[in-house]
Amino acid sequence: MADKKDKNPKKGEGQAPEPDLGAMEQDDGTNADDSLIEAEGPDVETSLSDVDLAFLDQSADELAAERLADLQRLQAEYVNYRNRVERDRESSKQLVIADVAKNLLPILDDLDRAEAHGDLEEGPMALIAQKFRTTVEKLGVTRVGVKDEPFDHNLHEAIVQIPTPGVEAMTVADVVEVGYQLGSRLLRPAKVAVAVPQED
């Protein structure tokens, strides 16, 4: 019976040789890591000239100036936007008040007629009328049309012209219906009789 051969190879047979660490060393005494660093190139900081550094500083200053200009422009746009919103809000508020005030004008006319007939001289209605007029004034509504004031076609509506001796300019001779305005917004012109210069 033949001897069984040892199927296990002897130690070292059929195996790759271990790497020689010394072979990785360079002839000048430097190792592979050092040569890799040298292959990557010189240090950037030490390789830049004074001109290059000055250019980088200038570029950084220009970039900072551009960013500052952008920030200032955005801030100005925001301020303009906020002012525009405030103006639009105030304009909308005035439109609402004007619409409400126009609906109250017939009541003011009735109060004026009642007062002209002596119905508001005393009693609870006189107090109510006064409170109502005060409330309307708080909204910013003011009366337009006063006798003997100069005629203004922007505020007055002439329903009749009366030639009058001694009159040199058109003047309100009588107020037929009081007008009203809200701030600079005319709600209703005053209907007036106008005294005009008499022709010779």
pLDDT tens digits, one per residue of 125-170: 889 999 999 999 999 999 999 999 999 999 999 999 999 888 889 9
Of 196, 132, 129, 128, which Cα lies nearest the Cα of 164?
A: 196
Structural domain includes residue 72: yes
Domain CATH code at residue 167? 2.30.22.10
User: Using a CB cutoff of 8 Å and minimum separation of 24, what contacts does 9-17 make?
Assistant: none
Tokens of 123: 């009693």
Cβ contacts of residue 107 below 8 Å, gap of 6+?
A: 132
Tokens of 166: 């001694």
Structural domain includes residue 76: yes
pLDDT tens digits, one per residue of 4-21: 444 544 444 555 555 555
What is each CA distance from 92 to 42, 60, 98, 140, in whole angstroms?
A: 69, 48, 10, 15
Range of the domain at 157: 140-200
State how many domains the chain has. 2
Structural domain includes residue 98: yes
Global confidence as pTM: 0.57
- Bridge partners of 163, per DSSP, are 196
